[in-house]
Structure 1
Amino acid sequence: MSSIVTKMREGTWIQPDLLSFAVKFALAAYVLAFVAVILVPNPYHVPTGSVLLTDFLSFWAAAREALVGMPASPYDTAAFQAYQTSLSGDPAAFFSFLYPPTFLLLVLPFGMTEFVTAFVAFSLAGLALFLPAMRAIIGTWRHAVAMLAAPMVINTVLHGQNALVSAGLLGLALVAMERRRHFLTGLLIGLLTYKPQLGLMIPVALLAAWDWRAIFGAAVSAVLFALASLAAFGVEPWLAFFAQAHLGTEILENGWVEWGKMVSVYSAARVLGLSSAVAWVCQGAAFVVAVIAVAVVWWRVRDFTARVCVLIAAGLLATPFALTYDLTVLLVPAAFLIRDVSSRGGLPWEVTGLALVVNLGAVTGGFGLYLGLPVAPLLVCIVLALGLARAKEKGADQPAAASPASGTS
C-alpha cells in the first residue's frame, strides 16, 4: 500500500508507453465517434433528418434567423422554440440562446450553409483555435495534438459547444501575457466577452497585477466587438438580450437544465438536496474565496503557472452558470502544468491531481445525474489547490519561469 501511495504522490505510476498508446487510441475513437454521430442513427438524429439535437442547433438557428433579417428572434423564447421545432420536427427539443449579440456575429458565417457542413466547420474552427494555444503553451505540435485526447475535447465537440474557442482565447491571451505582450493579451480577453460568465475573475487578476496595458486592450477589444455587432444587427438584439437576462437565473433555479449537468457550487448544492437560498449562499461564499485567491496570488506571486491555475479555476468556481463542457478551459492550466512538470519536475500529488482532472472532466454529468455526486466543483478545486500549492512553493519573491518560447515586445 505504501508503494502505491508513493507512486501516486510522485506521479511515477504513469507509464509513457501506455500513455502514448492511450492518446492514439483515444484520438482514433474520437474521430469514429464524431463520424458516427453524423452518419449512424442515434438519439442526436431528428424526424426531419436535417439537423442534429446538439447545442450547435441553437447557434446555427440563431445565425439563420440573423441572415434573414431577424437577429432579435433568438431572444424571443417562444418564437425561437417554434423555429427550432420546424427545423427538427421534435417539439420537445429546444436549445436556448443566452449569448450576447457579439457571439451571434461570430456564428453568423455558419448559418450560410446546411447544418451538417456548418457543424463540422464549427468543430474544426474550435480545434483550429485550441491547437495553436496548446502549441504555444507546451512548445511542440506533438504534445499539442496529444492534448486533444483529453475526454473534455470530444465532450465539447459532440455537444457542438464553444468551450474550445474559450480555451483557445484564454490560452493565447495568457501566453501573450507571459511573453509580455500585454496589449495583445487585452485584445484577446475582450473577445471573451461573448461568454462573460467565464471571465468574472479576469478583471480581479489584471487589477491585482496592475496590468493597465492589458486592461486598456481588453476595453478597446470589447467595445469594438460590441460596436461591430451593433453595425451588423442594430440595437434591437441588444435590447432583446438584456430583456431576457433573467432567463439564465430561471433556468438555473428551476433546474430546466439538470443541475447534474452543471459544474457550479450552486448546482452542486441543489444536487445534494439543498434549497435555492442555501445554494446561493454557498455560491456567494465560493465567489468570495475565488476573489481572494486570485487577488492574493496575482498580486504577490510571480510564478506564472500558479497564476494561471488559480485564475481559471477561480473563474469556474465563481460563476453559478457553467456546464460540463465548460470544464474544457481547465486544459489551459493543465497544459502549463504539463510544460513545467516535463521540464522541471512536479510537486507532490501534482501529476495525479492533473490526471484526475483531465480524465474525469467529461464524465461529471454522469456522476451528478445518475449517482447524485456533484464531482465537477471538486475537479475545479483540485486545479485551484495545485495553483495555490505552487504559489506557496515558489514564494512571493520567486521570479516567474520563462517559457520555452518566451520573449519581450
Structure 2
Amino acid sequence: MTETTRTLPLVMAAPRGRAKPPRHLADLSAEERVAAAKEMGEPPFRVKQVAHHYFARLERDPAAMTDLPARNRDAIAGALLPELLTPVRVQEADQGTTRKTLWRLFDGALVESVLMRYSERATICVSSQAGCGMACPFCATGQGGLQRNMSTAEIVDQVVDGAAAMARGEVAGGPGRLSNVVFMGMGEPLANYKAVVGAVRRMTSPAPDGLGMSARNITVSTVGLVPRIRQLTEEGIPITLALSLHAPDDELRDELVPINTRFDVAETVEAAWQYAKKTKRRVSIEYAMMRDINDQAWRADLLGDVLNSYGDWGWVHVNLIPLNEVPGSRFTRSRDADTDEFVRRLQAKGISTTVRDTRGDEIDAACGQLAAQE
C-alpha cells in the first residue's frame, strides 16, 4: 500500500467558547425551513431549491445554484449552507481508495472522517463528537477527552462531502455512489443521541429533505450506553447496532471500557439482544483484538457462551478488529495465530465471525491520531 499526504493551507483556529455551530439547512425541520425562508424574506420554495442542490446534487457552491436569483444567491446559500467543515489535512492510502480527512470545526475543534471504497460498496466512517468522554485506554480519541458534541449538520456534512467525492470521481476507481455510513469515528454516538438520530433521519429521508440512503446501510456503534440503546430500539429506524464489547467478562471490561462499571456485560448484551429482537436487525459485536489482554482462547469460549445464552437464531455477528496501535501505548495487535484460534472457537459455538479488513494502516487510521498530531 502507498500513502499520499496532502496538507492544505493552515486554517487558524477560532477561539473556543460556548457558541453553537452556525444554523444549517441539515439542522432544520420542515417547519423550521419555512420559518427560515420567511426570515430571509424569500418564498418557501427557495429553501427547497437549496435543499435540492445540497441533498440531491451534493452541491455546496452558490455559483452552481443558477436557479436562485443572482442578486441574492450568495446571501441565500450563505444563510442556509454556512461552511461547517474546513479541511486541514487529507491522507490517502490503498492506491487512493482510502481517504482520511482531518476537519476543523467553526470553533477550532478537530474531527476526522474516513472514506473507504471497496469493490462492491463505498463506506464513510464519520465522527459524532469532537473528542470522546468514554476514556477507553486503548483508543487514541479517548485519551484526549471530550471537547463537545457535534451538531446534526456537522455530522451530515461529512457524509455529503464523501458522497460528493464519490460522485465526482475524486476517489480512485472513477465516479461512484456512497452506499454505507458507519458511526465509528471520533466520539460515542449515543452520548450525542439527539444529533445522531437527527443525522440518521436526514440521511434516510428522500431528497430534497435528505440523502435518500437506506437505513439498513447505516451502522451506529456504542460502547454500551444501555438507556440509549433501549431508546434507539423504539425509534423505528432499521439501522445496524454495533456494540463495542471488547471483553466478555466484567473484570477485564471494567478496565478496557470504563462505562462497564455502570452497565455491566450482562446488562449491555441484554439491551443489544432486545434491539435485535425488536428490530429484526442482526447486531454486530465489535471486538478489538489486543495481544495477551483479551485474545485468549478461553475468552473466545466465554464470549460465545455469553452470546448464545440469548438463543441461537443468529441474532449476532462478531467482528474481530485488528487493533489500530497508538504509538507509545501498551496495547498492541494480537498475533495472527491467536486471532485465528479466536475465530475458530467462536465458529465452533455457532457464532458468525469475521475479521475486519484493515484499511489505511500507514495513515494513522485509528480515530484521533491525526487530531492528536495537530
Q: TM-score, normalised by structure 1?
A: 0.27
Q: TM-score, normalised by structure 2?
A: 0.28
Whose RCO is larger (CA < 8 A, sep 6+)?
1
- Which is richer in helix? 1
- Which is richer in strand? 2
